[in-house]
Amino acid sequence: MKADPEFITPVFLVGARRSGTTLFRMCLNGHPDVSWDRGWEFAVNFIDDHGRVLKHFDAERPQTSRTSSIEDIRSYLNNKAHTARGKKKILGVTVHVGFEKIPYLYSDAKYIHLIRDPRDIAISSVKLGWSGSYYYAPDIWVAAEQEWEELSAVIDKRAWIELRYEDFVTHPEAELRRVCEFIGIDYTEKLFDYTKTTKYNYPKESLAYRWESQLRKDEVQLIESRVGGYLQKRGYQASQYPVLEIKGLKALELKIRNFAGIKARGIADEGLSLYMIGLLGRKLGLKSLIDLHDVKLRGIKQKHVEKLEKDY
């Protein structure tokens, strides 16, 4: 009888999208003892806030109706982990959404919490068309930090380390040494080898606090009004601008502007013909058109992200 494979517990990199997770992941992936894998976020989508499995988990077809168990998901992820890690010592994975549910799958995991100034994340969110208004642009950051509060409250304090993006790009070697010690590997200059094989640049201080030169006063006010006390709570200093009171007609205006901005950016990115293919496919329920639209759109969005990430 074949023995069950060793159960691999990854190191989890958690934080909001656009917080520097790609740059940091590429650094660690250059270590000879580390393999970094993608595509793990879907697993927590099958678990509710109480650790119950919502849908049947099928490795071949993860859209389902029958009930399954946590062990089904763990078994699939462990097979995935063995393939991804290979002969290396450590497997790292990135999760941006739903990471407060990871302990239901891995009770003894280690976490690297990467955090970035939400005003910089808001710039990226608008540039990528995820938000049509700076008021809603930091929502991905707020949601991630709320999830981190839930997660950090239930795991051992020795099981996580916090890394500030601003410290990382200002003192990359010192911060990477700290992380390497935390996960039990030696520091090596190979962590920066990605600069030789990709279009991504070496971490530089100019990547931090770009909001100070790129945002207008009213845009900063909208962001700070949205994030509220979370800004100072996470160690970031608020501007000296007055906080706006968003309610009534102003709140409605921002909501409409956000919706219209997202739609307008979508049409601009896709082009009218591709946008109409997607719209028609969904209206008529034609899977072939929907799939064609989605495949082409993913390619377009990926190019936008890669272009932005190289310099941001």
Question: How much is the pLDDT for 65?
Answer: 38
Question: How much is the pLDDT for 299?
Answer: 78
Question: How much is the pLDDT for 178?
Answer: 97
State the DSSP string of 198-232. Answer: SSPPPP-GGGS-THHHH--HHHHHHHHHHHTTHHH
Q: What's the gap between Cα 231 and its chain centre?
A: 19
Residue 257: is it exposed, middle or buried by C-beta count within 10 angstroms (0-12/13-18/19+)?
A: middle
Give residues with Cβ within 8 angstroms of 177, minimum separation 6. 187
Question: 208 φ, ψ to 5°?
Answer: -90, 150
CB burial of 82-104 (b: ≥16 within 10 Å; e: otherwise) equals: eebbeeeebbbbbbbbbbbbbbb
* Blockwise average pLDDT, block size 10, the chain, 312 residues: 71 96 94 91 80 63 54 86 91 94 93 98 93 96 96 96 97 97 96 92 93 97 95 94 91 92 83 83 85 79 63 54
What is the 3-state composition of the chain as percent helix, strand, coil, each rounded to the nearest 5?
A: 55, 10, 35
Q: Between vectors from CA 208 to CA 191 and to CA 109, what angle results, nearest 5°?
A: 50
The dotted CATH code for 11-245 is: 3.40.50.300
Contact by Cβ (8 Å): 80, 35: no
Q: Where are the domains of the chain?
A: 11-245
pTM: 0.85
